[in-house]
Amino acid sequence: MKRAFAAAGVCLFALMLPTSVLAQGDEGFNLKVVAATEGEERSQQSSLWVMDVDLKPLRVIWVDIKDPRTGMVQPELFYYICYRAVNRPIEVPSTRSTEPVNQLDREPGPPVFIPELTLIGMDAEEPAVFVDQIIPEVQAAINLKERRKFKNSVTIAGPIPAPSTDAPGEENALYGLAIFRGVDPAIDHFMLYLSGFSNGYKVGQGPDGEPLLMRKTIQQQFWRPGDKFDTQSREFRVQGEPVWMYRPDATPAE
């Protein structure tokens, strides 16, 4: 129940903060998601960290894939997104005794960067959920196309980089990608969720009344014009502004 609740993308807390600017150039990282926080977050979570996240548009790529059962090689369509993340310093106020604090014994998760990206097709009555997959040959093809070595969600995982005020670069930025397989070409509207770019969390109430852990997550919508069969020149466009929000985690709070 909780896993389905989280997969549907239901959020109980949303932070309607100015989070982005659109920029031209900069290697194609045109969507800038600012490390936005609220005073209540900073007061309740002294170890809070939040990253700036720069995104390229949602894109597609054809890659020749070998079928392990038949040995045949055939082209397959994959959706992907590339990101760049920089840990930014946050001024955390001292917590007064009258201010509420999170009641968990300890903050969930270790202080490491573990990104989780989920793409949801929004056209059908029942949302289609696509999780990030590790496919080395597709990753290699994307890196060749994008002219940069992007890491997947496993190889990029590691200690949180030290906070930096400098512009994104090789010394302070993490460059990663997410690959989505089996997406129906007829889907025109997508919701992308990016978690792991902050350790912010809240504890809410699930549909069954039990405590539900919610993580600070980026939400961004995309849509694409054109015919579903025109997969060679597919272009996805940003729809609306990105939002930092708290989305239910697959693991229930204890």
pLDDT computed for residue 228 by the predictor: 56
By three-state DSSP, how is residue 151 classified? strand
As given in the structure block, the two tokens for residue 136 are 């080395």
Sequence spans of domains, the chain = 2-248
CA torsion angle 233 238 244 250 (round to 10): -40
Phi, psi dihedrals of residue 5, rounded to the nearest 5°: -60, -40
Of 194, 78, 57, 55, residue with least CA distance to 135: 78
Nearest to 41 by CA among 109, 114, 113, 90: 90
How many other C-beta atoms lie within 10 A of the C-beta of residue 161? Answer: 16
Q: Are 53 and 87 in contact (CB under 8 A)?
A: no
Report how far Cα 104 is from the mean position of its chain's Cα atoms. Answer: 25
Write out the chain's pLDDT in tens, 254 residues: 434 444 444 454 555 454 555 555 579 999 999 998 888 888 888 889 999 999 999 999 999 999 888 999 999 999 999 999 999 998 766 554 444 555 554 555 557 999 999 999 999 778 999 999 999 999 999 999 999 999 999 999 999 999 999 999 999 999 999 999 999 988 999 999 999 999 999 988 888 888 899 999 999 999 988 665 565 556 699 999 899 999 998 654 44
The predicted structure's pLDDT at residue 145: 96
